[in-house]
Amino acid sequence: MNGGRTRPRLALARTTLVRARRTAQHPPQGSAERSAAFGWCQTQALTITEIAGRLRLPVQSVKVLVADLITEELLMTVATRQEDPKDPDVLERVLAGLQTL
């Protein structure tokens, strides 16, 4: 899947969101994991951790896989909006999330 590599070509966080490029029409060559990750990212943006969970693979391995797909211009990262942690709306959403645990 990763050719024995353990380090990605790009710096990616566990929370990095990725999606398929609109110009990427063909599935990637190689492993079933590459094709699956690409397919999922065609319909929605996913984090590295979400992809790892779906593939049942270590996050580090998925970082290598995703970095390769980005380098091949099949996936792209998605910018996330930075929120002010002191914003009352953010605090309410965090509290609501904690209460559901």
Using 50 as the pLDDT threshold, list the residues of the chain that sit under it.
Answer: none
The per-residue pLDDT for 82 is 65
How do residues 11-39 score in pLDDT, each as one tens digit? 898 889 999 988 766 667 778 999 999 99
Residue in 83, 70, 93 with CA at minimum distance from that of residue 16: 70
The per-residue pLDDT for 99 is 81
The per-residue pLDDT for 9 is 74
Domains (range + CATH), the chain: 17-99 (1.10.10)
The per-residue pLDDT for 8 is 66
E-strand ranges in the chain read 17-20, 46-47, 75-78
The per-residue pLDDT for 74 is 93
The C-alpha atoms of residue 89 and residue 85 are separated, in whole angstroms, by: 9
